[in-house]
Amino acid sequence: MDMVNGVLNWVGTTAMVASLLLFYPPYYLFKTCYSFLSWLFPEDLTGKVVLITGASSGIGEQLAYQYALKRASLALVARRESSLQQVADRALELGARDVIVLPGDVSAPDDCNRFVQTAISHYDRLDHLVCNAGIASVGAFQEIPDVTKYSSQLDINFWGSVQTTFAALPHLKRSRGRIVVTASATGWNPVPRMSFYNVGNFFFHPLRQQDFISACWDFETLPVSCTELGSQVGITVVTPGWIESEMSKGKYLKEHGEVEVDQEMCDAQIGLFPVEYDKNCAKAMVQAAQQGERYLTVPAWFRAMYLWRVFAPEVVEICYRLLYMHGHGARQADTASRTMAESGGKQLLYPTSLRSEEIKSD
């Protein structure tokens, strides 16, 4: 076995690269043709039932509006009932066939079952499940007083999607529906001090999921690992970069376990990265779901960051150290990235909504 692996280390790598170079051109041509046909004949969402978690603000709110424009029927999930009702009213104005509001917490298994069962009781079907609810944390790892304070983040970002998907799968199978899961580009392009958010999205990132196959919940391999599904349920994995939302306004789970708004820290995190409008992100997500796309990164240029992570990881690490590391005794927000943002980058590269600390508090 050692000899076989030794030979493969020398010969197999070269053979694999050569075969990939030969295979990729026709494969890319096929994908281009398939994408063109999918663009010409997208899924008609008129009357389709869509359940969206985290629908009270940000990307989730805009997803509700984009599905409403496609004449879908909606089931909106979030903890803030008043905000959900406002989103529901606006979605009806935009053309949604029907909207029901389902206040609750995706981190609670009973709530996840209730969301799905209520939607099925009301509509008698479910066509799209959009797992969008999430929260980010921020803080230097060595400065966290109690790491268990962050368990709620995994309950929301990971288990919330797992539990909702588990309850919805039988109904999605009957309708030959689709799961749209919002992960994060930071899963493969981790920004310093965002480690716990990355952990939650690590499970959903298609290039890292094989490490967690034993967890039995791998959205990328779900149609394969659940053999009874076959190709009956489609998967769209979305990895957004920096998007206009409450997170990019600084709403974080802090070191002591409470949610706070820390705009200075957020500016330090984003730095000179352009921030995409949440409306554009949601529009791209719905379009990708209609066209049956497996992966989507928004904005599209952010995919180039993955190439840097693969081919020059040391360079990326050095750049991040220069941009995000603060001196001894300095505040976490006192970084070069925040200085650049405050020196004009924020006015040029951020939506106007990110220049205010106001967020939905109900």
- DSSP at 190: P
* Integer angstrom CA distances of residue 28 from 31, 32, 59: 5, 6, 30
Q: How far apart are CA 244 and CA 78, in angstroms?
A: 18
Q: How far apart are CA 51 and CA 117, in angstroms?
A: 11
Active-site pick, 150, 197, 324, 350: 197
Q: Taking each helix axis as running N to C, give the angle between helix 58-69 and helix 278-290, from 0 to 180 degrees, rounded to the nearest 10.
A: 50
Q: Please give the structure tokens belonging to residue 146.
A: 């109690």
Which residues contact residue 212 at a Cβ distance below 8 angstroms, ignoring those fewer than 6 apart? 202, 203, 218
Q: Report angle CA 153, 155, 157 to the nearest 5 degrees.
A: 60
DSSP string for residues in 23-51: HHHHHHHHHHHHHHHHHHSPPP-TT-EEE
Which residues contact residue 225 at a Cβ distance below 8 angstroms, ignoring those fewer than 6 apart? 213, 216, 218
Q: Is 150 a catalytic residue?
A: no
Task: Return the H-helix or E-strand segment holding 141.
Answer: none
Task: Return the H-helix or E-strand segment holding 255.
Answer: none
Q: Please give the structure tokens belonging to residue 196.
A: 């716990």
Per the CB < 8 A criterion, the answer to whether 74 and 89 are in contact is no
Per the CB < 8 A criterion, the answer to whether 153 and 137 are in contact is yes
**99 phi and psi, to 5 degrees?**
-140, 130
Sign of CA dihedral 340, 343, 345, 347: positive
Q: Please give the structure tokens belonging to residue 142.
A: 């060595």
Q: Which residues are catalytic?
A: 197
